Structure 1
């Protein structure tokens, strides 16, 4: 007699995986993807870019160091399921505050363990990512197939993960408007570490509302889903391009490309992990990067735009970095703020601030109203 609750993962091609359940009970559907990271399962689960996805970890042991409050990349996780080879219920780590099972239960996320994640990953690599249904219920397989066929993948992930209101993280340095398309905490951490005065705004903030914040630069965050599902963001960036220095990351990189006239396309199985080699074309230097994306900028679409390719992926030669030839704006497909992960690319935030200062020196503008008011108060 089994002493554990059963969970099943059914793919849309009919492949069925049966294993042990952990986390919440119930049923959920989503796009099944895989991540090749050896560590960082908490950061993966709490990365908003995984919104609506069932995430498979290729590393065979998960849960062994538990969960700690300080390592979240967002306020709450948005994944729809978590699949692992072996789940360790008793963590061994002095920082652990609770278990992975407890966290998944808290947020209503299903987990499945004791399945062949190597086989699952090989299927996804061969056929591409596909829909799946994860359940702890005892419904017949044919019924699960019908439910899976009738469950479309979500298209509003950015709206689900973006902040609903403006908030700020004050600093004495440059004022950066961070447009939140599903931003990881690491981006805000890197900016505030450099003394920036950061104002975080929702994904649907208008160009005029951003102008009223009088930024020195605009940071375009990462986020989930297809960049073409947020056309309003492309329009806003098109209006602001050239007015303010911009730096785009991941989804922000794709939106920057679309706003500049390029195109994007869905990858077969995406790039997700902490060990992806990226070559900087200007120096031929290779950086090891953390990545999480299912779409890429089409190389053929760059011709006829003012975009210059700055980085490529050494594995499949897809575009990993862009720079605008006329305006102070650049972007990368990977995550320079990644934690855990390589720190090779954190210098890009410094380059962003240098670009802002160069732009300001070449294009002086009137003092901010707040600075004028403070000066007037001081004179009194």
Structure 2
């Protein structure tokens, strides 16, 4: 079955379809991860996006019941160079094709993913539409222009109910902006009593739970689209120690008076080097974000930069000068082979014990 990807700038990539048979549109992004496609598919931060894998063969170890970041996948469509039809892994329970069909997600393979990635890098973020062979590029572009832009990303993936994860340690209130399951798992492994709350859970209600710390999760979309969350974080600042990852990092920055901006093509993959400015150490990190904390005006806030990207010098970590609040842009829970950044969760524990120094 022939299928094509048509970008809003008129570029067309023709290949073969797998997964569900339907047309779908979204922002086209690429990730440089070599493995972890199951975690990627179920990461809420990819909501509404057509994801391109730069690694040539995807699906070679199948899909299993353990490596989910959420119950259902969130990508709009999945684009790969080669889709493996016969996975080899003792944990595999179904093929990638079967998984996409099960969840009504269309896929595309057999295109030049390297050329597509270069096009995104050179021209910046772009929307696209997956269409079948019978649809002309002109018809596909007309359909794409009729599709509304996705909104309310965080509201669509955040929990709607408050729930508890029992533990014998410090009590943590975890704001869910589209949380990956691995974040919850890492915090639970440290023994914390965790209360997961919606993105718009009132600050007063959170403090009534008598937490020892507040944790801000990852999530999809533009951080400036949830001003209510920024206001809540601002109200919580200084009350108890606070830590954020990815979207939580950007929301903390906004709450402290910093700005965020959309990147040209974002950081997505499991091989992004980050320098810890406090020690000079280089961490190999997993990342997934299209927005970043803006350097412009940052020196006018009470924030200091703790981490920077080695590749483009963008802000990867911040800390408040006076309050016990800090965050990182990368994903310390993902462990993309190396576990360089796993110490981040222990630093949060030290913040709640009062033994951690930001600088």
Q: TM-score range by the shorter chain?
A: over 0.9
Match of 2:323 in 1: 327
1:315 paired with 2:326, answer no
Q: Which residue of 1 aligns with 2:124?
A: 128
CA contact (8 A) 1:27 1:136 kept: yes
Question: Which of 241, 244, 258 lines up with 1:248 in the alignment?
Answer: 244
**1:307-333 CA deviation, whole Å, 9 max, x = no partner?**
010000000000000000111010000
1:353 aligns with 2:353: no
Structure 1 Cα separation of the partners of residues 106 and 235 of structure 2: 42
**For residues 14-163 of structure 1, what are the structure 2 equivalents within 5 Å?**
14-136=10-132, 138-163=134-159
Q: How far apart, CA to CA, are the structure 2 residues paired with 1:49 and 1:251?
A: 9
TM-score (ref. length: structure 2): 0.97
**CA contact 2:49–2:77 (8 Å) conserved in 1:** yes
Bigger Rg, which one: 1
TM-score normalized by structure 1?
A: 0.92
The residue aligned with 2:264 is 268
Instruction: Select the residue among 184, 204, 208 that pairs with 1:212.
Output: 208
Separation in 2, partners of 1:221, 1:359 = 23
Deviates more, 1:135-144 or 1:333-342: 135-144
1:135, distance to aligned residue in structure 2 (A): 2.3
Q: Which runs of 5+ in 2 are unaligned?
A: none
Which of 184, 188, 194 is the matching residue for 2:180? 184
Report how many residues are paired: 356
1: CA distance between counterparts of 2:348 and 2:204? 23
How far apart are the structure 2 equivalents of 1:82 and 1:294? 18
Q: Give me the whole-angstrom Cα distance separating, in 2, the residues matched to 1:99 and 1:153.
A: 31
**1:344, CA displacement in angstroms?**
0.6
Unmatched 5+ stretches in structure 1: 361-380
Q: Deviations over 1:231-252 (max 9, x none)?
A: 1110000000000111100000
How far residue 131 of structure 1 moved from its aligned partner, in angstroms, is 0.3
Check conservation: 1:89, 1:101, Cα contact below 8 A.
Answer: yes
Q: How many Å apart are 1:334 and its aligned residue?
A: 0.2
Distance in 1, matches of 2:227 and 2:105, equals 30
Q: 1:209 to 1:341 in 2, by over 3 A?
A: farther
* From 294, 309, 324, the counterpart of 2:290: 294
- Root mean square deviation of aligned Cα: 1.2
Change (3 A) 1:137 1:200: farther
CA contact (8 A) 1:234 1:259 kept: yes
The residue that corresponds to 1:369 in the other structure is none
Distance 1:49 1:250, change over 3 A: same
